[in-house]
Homo-oligomer: A and B are copies of this chain.
Amino acid sequence: MSASLSHADARAVLDAGLAHAAEIGQPMNVAVVDDGGHLVAFARMDGAIKASIDISTRKAVTSVLMAAPTAALTPLVQPGAELYGLEQTAGGMVAFGGGIPLVRDGVLVGAVGVSAGSVEQDVSVAEAAVAALPG
């Protein structure tokens, strides 16, 4: 049971992200996906840019597909680096920060993706969201 991400889990993660975004005064899009990259919960705050609906969701999906935070991919996809061009695979991935895996008892159960602020803000909201995953 604890091996899969429930809707209640996803809502807790989502709401923690929204609360932190409100605290820092930056409207955000927050997406929570399961371990297959399928959407479980999503919210767009008032004033958050619309491009980030897709970007936040794609960050979450990327984190699941790569089993890594999207920020870890940034150096790898630069010109000359090992995975240059990676973003154009697997249906389109995002290689800048804001996507973080959700891990419980060592098992990847999903991911959260945040977008609409600076990358630093997106990452801080994603970290707050991930920290709220019920045990």
Q: Which residues of A contact B (CB under 8 A)?
A: 3, 6-8, 10-11, 34-46, 49-51, 53-55, 58, 62, 64-67, 74, 77-80, 82-96, 118-119
**In the complex, which residue of chain B has the Cβ closest to the Cβ of A55?**
B89
Additional pairs, 10, CB under 8 Å, beyond known A6-B46, A78-B79, A89-B94? A7-B46, A8-B46, A34-B36, A41-B43, A42-B42, A54-B90, A77-B84, A77-B85, A85-B95, A87-B88
Contact of A92 among B74, B88, B118 (CB under 8 A): B88
Given A79-B79, A82-B96, is A90 in contact with B51 using a C-beta cutoff of 8 Å?
yes
Copies in the complex: 4
